[in-house]
Amino acid sequence: MKQGVQGSAGPGRPEGGAPGAARVPAQQRAADALDGFRERDTATHGVRGEHTHAERPLPGPRLAVQRSSVRGQILDALRTALVAGELKPGEVYSAPVLGERFGVSATPVREAMQQLALEGAVEVVPNRGFRVIERGTRELAELAEVRALIEVPVMLRLARTVPAERWAGLRPLAEDTVRAAASGCPATYAESDRAFHGALLSLSGNEQLVRIAEDLHRRSQWPLVGGPVRHGRGDLVADAAEHLTLLEALIARDVDVVRGLVGEHFAGTS
């Protein structure tokens, strides 16, 4: 995912991971051993014990993780892989293979994938793993419409009420999106893009609004069937440039310009 997270999962199916990878610290061994025992108990766990014999090895270095937040780090890495298009729509990925990829047991991977299932990014395939949801341009357009309905009125209200100095304080985040766009990495840009939009909306003081908007934003960044629509470097650079222009209009309290820019921004599903 955001997300330039090292070790994001790639497509494939198993037999091991990349050599020379960093492993989970030694203090996790006992917990991993217990996880391994649990994973063999398929009688009472619908998605445990996925079949992995036909899967190819996953490419890339494993993710070096900290025991204190294994699940969170795996979730971030999977989100990065999703945005980067490394997890393909319609493909099934098993927790044991992804665990081998990251150098951890299947349990934190399975937990992270179940969170993605709750978010609507993947669906459970009993005794196999998780399938990445196939999405089309219509869903992307619907998400953009919902985001516009929620965010545009808030942005126009804030444009009239927030002092210029507070908008100016967001300039570093806008500049971060420009640098991320220049890298050409869609996952890196996605993270900086969400951070900028989240910071804008946080000035409303409405935490629920920020959470809902972030969820919609994240969903709009998932891959589509047939590949990404706007993940070229030129598209990212143009999108990031709109952030700087929007910020200047907010600082100047030019509501008409803000209205036009925000509308165009959502039309581009950024």
| Span 3-49, pLDDT tens digits | 333 434 344 343 333 333 334 444 444 444 444 434 444 434 444 44
Cα separation, 33 vs 49, whole angstroms: 15
- Domain-wise residue ranges, the chain: 26-132, 137-267
Half-sphere exposure of 261 (CA within 13 A, CB side): 22
Cα separation, 92 vs 50, whole angstroms: 10
Fold designation for 137-267:
Four Helix Bundle (Hemerythrin (Met), subunit A) (1.20.120)
For residue 165, name the pLDDT band (cuts at 50, 70, 90).
very high
> Do the domains at 26-132 and 137-267 have one common CATH topology?
no
Angle at 199 between CA 268 and CA 238, to 5 degrees: 30
pLDDT at 266: 77
Distances from the Cα of 61 to the Cαs of 17, 66, 103, 109, 212, in angstroms?
7, 16, 9, 16, 34
pLDDT at 16: 35
Q: Please tell me the class of the 26-132 domain.
A: mainly alpha
Query: How confident is the model over 233-249, as pLDDT tens digits?
Result: 888 899 899 999 999 99
Q: Are strands 122-125 and 129-132 parallel, antiparallel or unpaired?
A: antiparallel
Q: Are strands 122-125 and 92-93 parallel, antiparallel or unpaired?
A: unpaired
Which SS3 state, helix, strand or coil, does residue 93 take? strand
Largest Cα span, the chain = 64
Cα separation, 216 vs 218, whole angstroms: 5
